[in-house]
Amino acid sequence: MKLKLLVTRAALLLFLGLPSFAQNVDTVAGKKTVFLGDSITQAGGYVTFASYYLEKLYPQKDFAIYGLGLSSETLSGLSETNHAGGAFPCPCLFERLGRLLEKVKPDLVFACYGINDGIYQPLDDARFAAFKSGVTNLIGQCKAAGVKEIILITPPIFDATTKPGEFNYDSVMTEYAAWETTLKIPGVHVADLHTAMRKARDARTEVFSKDHVHPGDEGHLLMAKTALTALGIQIPDESLATIHADELFKQADLLRRHRSTHWMQHIGYTREKIVPPKPLGDTEIEAAKIQEKIDALRHHT
């Protein structure tokens, strides 16, 4: 009976197009987990939601989540000519990735890129090749640094409605996402956010992203669900008001913001200016204090 249930679950995941590599929380529990990406990841909503539910659903497990996204960042190294009003080009992950891997030493990496890599232009072979090369480079550097599992989160939708015949950048993101889902590399898995978000968006009239790119809380919650589903973890349906009112959520968000701010400075990065690496100081001492509050809350409930 147990074998039959396992086979049935694997078949269900395959039918849904979800990876069956990890059907329990131990892929992330007790591991250093880094979330990489652009401004959506730097905003951090979905990282907080993911952290909150891991802490809430598994009170006897330990988690170490680092949200290390950088606004405007790409894997392709490309940029629009008028990015930020022409003030500076899009940063590229590979300026900082080596330092990040050396300093954080993650076991598990989630990476959500693509929305900036197509530079908001029609599908182009050279731009697409640059994105593919960037994904390959990301995987290679992570593996060389000892990262055990890499989960590629396909790009979110470009949330715009166009008239028939008009160019919609989401068609480019659809192609980028579809290519990522074809990757068959040991230790690399894909959480197909784009398909999940498009399906959800088509079922509603309200946009996820008022500026077409950056989702609000509903979109970030969907992102967290997609990321955790890749680990075989199901998030219960709850209202945003219920989640936001939970003190555990507030502390999880505080911890995510604290770590993100100080670890980004510790690693260093280049965007509109060069931010050189700084000492980490008592960052993890303070993080441990916040974690103590989280542990008290989740063990109490």
Taking the C-alpha atoms of residue 280 and residue 274, their distance in angstroms, rounded to an integer, is 18
Binned at pLDDT 50, 70 and 90, residue 84 comes out as confident
- Joined tokens for residue 156: 């979110």
Which residue from 226, 136, 131 is spatially nearest to 173, judged by alpha carbons? 131
pLDDT score recorded for residue 82: 86
Q: Which residues pair with 296 in a beta bridge?
A: none
Helix (H, G, I), strand (E, B), or coil: what is residue 66?
Answer: strand
Judged against a pLDDT cut of 60, whether residue 74 lies above it is answered with yes
Q: In the structure encoding, which two tokens stand for residue 218, read together?
A: 């509903």
For 107-149, how does the pLDDT look when each residue is reduced to its tens digit (9 = 90+)? 999 999 999 999 999 999 999 999 999 999 999 999 999 999 9
Cβ neighbours, 10 Å, residue 30 = 13
Instruction: Specify whether the CB–CB gap between 59 and 298 falls below 8 A.
Output: yes
Q: How confident is the model at residue 83 (pLDDT cuts 50, 70, 90)?
A: confident
The pTM of the full predicted model, rounded to 2 decimals, is 0.91
Q: Report the Cα 238 to chain-centroid distance in Å.
A: 21
Please say if the pLDDT value at position 22 is more than 70.
no
- Where are the domains positioned within the chain? 23-300
Q: Using alpha carbons, select from 111, 28, 113, 105 the residue that is nearest to residue 65.
A: 28
Mean predicted confidence (pLDDT) in 253-281? 97
5 pLDDT higher than 80: no
Per-residue model confidence as pLDDT tens digits over 34-50: 999 999 999 999 999 99
Q: Among 86-90, 113-117, 171-175, 182-186, where is mean pLDDT lowest?
A: 86-90
DSSP states of 212-253: SSS--HHHHHHHHHHHHHTTT-PPPP--HHHHHH-HHHHHHH
Q: What is the pLDDT of residue 34?
A: 98
**Which tokens is 257 given?**
């913001």
pLDDT above 70: residue 159: yes
Q: What is the pLDDT of residue 39?
A: 97
Instruction: Tell the burial category of 199 from Cβ atoms under 10 Å away from its Cβ (0-12, 13-18, 19+).
Output: exposed
Average pLDDT of the chain?
92
CATH code for 23-300?
A: 3.40.50.1110
Q: What is the mean pLDDT of residues 166-193?
A: 97
Sign of CA dihedral 289, 294, 299, 301: positive
Q: What is the pLDDT of residue 6?
A: 36
